[in-house]
Amino acid sequence: MPRKKPEELDKEVKSETGDDSPVKSEPKKTHDAEITTSGDGKTKKVKLDLEIDTSLKDLGPNPFAYIIHLARAVDAWRIFPRIFITTYIILLYKCVIWYMNLPNPTMEQSGLISIVVGAGAAWFGLYTSSRK
């Protein structure tokens, strides 16, 4: 089926309504855009007609509202960061007690404790900056 020109469509609508008054329809949003063609660099103005459906659709209650509420509560309570910090504190405590009970610590053992204690600054920085 060949495409019809806009003038032909207007004639059909006027003949169906029986009068020459313009057809009343929903307002359309128009937008002017400039498009640069390739090659010679000429610009051409094009008028675009956009139809946007802004009507609200009632889809009923959200079936995932409880899960969303639970996720927000878990996020507000900050459960996982607190679990990670608690685990780090226990690890740090056990490592420091182990290191202090060594009679003659080696360089490798000192390096391990230095890394575990130094990681505490990174953990604490991540924990305090994770607040929105």
| pLDDT of amino acid 82 | 87
Measured between alpha carbons, how far is 26 from 29 in angstroms, rounded to an integer?
A: 10
Q: Could you tell me the two tokens for 107?
A: 């360089």
Which pTM does this prediction carry? 0.47
Measured between alpha carbons, how far is 9 from 109 in angstroms, rounded to an integer?
A: 87
End-to-end CA distance of the chain: 58
Q: Could you tell me the two tokens for 66?
A: 């409880």
User: Between these two residues, 132 and 99, which has the higher pLDDT value?
Assistant: 99
| Beta bridge partners of residue 30, listed in sequence order | 49
| pLDDT of amino acid 24 | 47
Q: What is the pLDDT of residues 105-130, one digit of tens each?
A: 999 999 999 999 998 888 888 888 87
Residue 114 neighbours by CB distance under 10 Å: 11
How is the chain split into domains, by residue range? 80-129
Q: Which of 131, 130, 111, 120 is closest to 86 using CA atoms?
A: 120
Measured between alpha carbons, how far is 75 from 69 in angstroms, rounded to an integer?
A: 10
Q: What is the pLDDT of residues 71-104, one digit of tens each?
A: 999 888 888 888 988 999 999 999 999 999 999 9
% of the chain with per-residue pLDDT over 90: 29
| pLDDT of amino acid 55 | 80
Measured between alpha carbons, how far is 92 from 111 in angstroms, rounded to an integer?
A: 14
